[in-house]
């Protein structure tokens, strides 16, 4: 499951490489949904379902232990302090996302906004049902499935470093 897939570059790529996986992505921005649908049609990719809407409201309606992988890449950083509460990853949403993972399932998060990366690390570290997959804790090397997206390229052009986090749902 990918939250905020943008124009669907990563989701379409992932689904094409994993035809035996059932994939789902949520995106609020209609042109992004259209771009993903075009990619899926062009690639004859038929293992993706799409939610056009607010992923954070939708995940509240789901039963636990649904997903083997949850991906959030380059979420809106909301750099101003008064907007921090709008960030997708917060204490409560981290717990909810962890509940949606099957035991052993993985949450992947990437951002080029360092303060958000530090916030995400703090929040995920504080989620008891998650364990950090980075040896020794902290940030991870990029997962092999992550490909450069439009927002990563934009960050790179601005000279930003990219921070990856990989956490696993503990058993039980
Ligand atoms: C900065 S863009 C990154 C897009 C893509 N992941 C990438 O790396 O290119 C963040 C995306 O998250 C989407 N988004 C923000 N809040 C969302 C929500 N609550 N539910 C679904 N999508 C959301 C935005 O519409 C936007 O397309």
Write down the CATH number for the domain with range 2-169.
Answer: 3.40.50.150
How far is residue 65's CA from residue 84's CA, in Å, rounded to a whole number? 28
**128 conformational bin, left if phi > 0, alpha if psi -120 to 50, beta if neither:** alpha
For the chain, what are the domain ranges? 2-169
- Residue 150 tokens read as 């439009």
What are 95-136's pLDDT values in tens digits?
999 999 999 999 999 999 999 999 999 999 999 999 999 999
Biggest CA-to-CA distance, the chain: 43
Q: Which of 46, 76, 99, 125 is labelled catalytic?
A: 76
pLDDT tier, 156 (very low <50, low <70, confident <90, very high otherwise): confident
Residue 38, C-beta contacts closer than 8 angstroms, at least 6 positions apart: none
Q: Quick one: 36 exposed, middle or buried, by C-beta within 10 A (0-12, 13-18, 19+)?
A: buried
Over the stretch 44-53, which tens digit does the pLDDT of each residue have?
A: 999 999 999 9
76 counts as catalytic: yes
Q: What is the pLDDT of residue 92?
A: 96
Q: What are the pocket residues of ligand 1 if the criterion is a CB atom closer than 6 Å to any ligand atom?
A: 3-6, 26-29, 32, 54-56, 73-76, 88, 149-151
């Amino acid at each position: 499951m990918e939250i905020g897939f943008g124009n669907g570059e990563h989701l379409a790529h992932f689904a094409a490489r994993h035809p035996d996986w059932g994939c789902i992505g949520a995106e609020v921005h209609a042109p992004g949904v259209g771009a993903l649908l075009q990619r899926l049609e062009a690639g004859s990719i038929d293992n993706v379902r799409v939610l056009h809407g607010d992923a954070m409201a939708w995940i509240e309606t789901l039963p636990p232990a649904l997903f083997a992988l949850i991906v959030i890449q380059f979420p809106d950083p909301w750099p101003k302090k008064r907007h921090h509460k709008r960030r997708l990853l917060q204490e409560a949403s981290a717990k909810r996302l962890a509940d949606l993972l099957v035991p052993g399932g993985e949450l992947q998060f990437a951002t080029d906004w360092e303060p958000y990366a530090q916030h995400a690390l703090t929040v995920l570290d504080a989620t008891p049902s998650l364990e950090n997959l980075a040896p020794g804790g902290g940030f991870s090397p990029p997962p092999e499935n992550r490909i450069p997206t439009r927002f990563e390229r934009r960050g790179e052009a601005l000279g930003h470093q990219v921070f990856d986090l990989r956490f696993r749902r503990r058993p039980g």
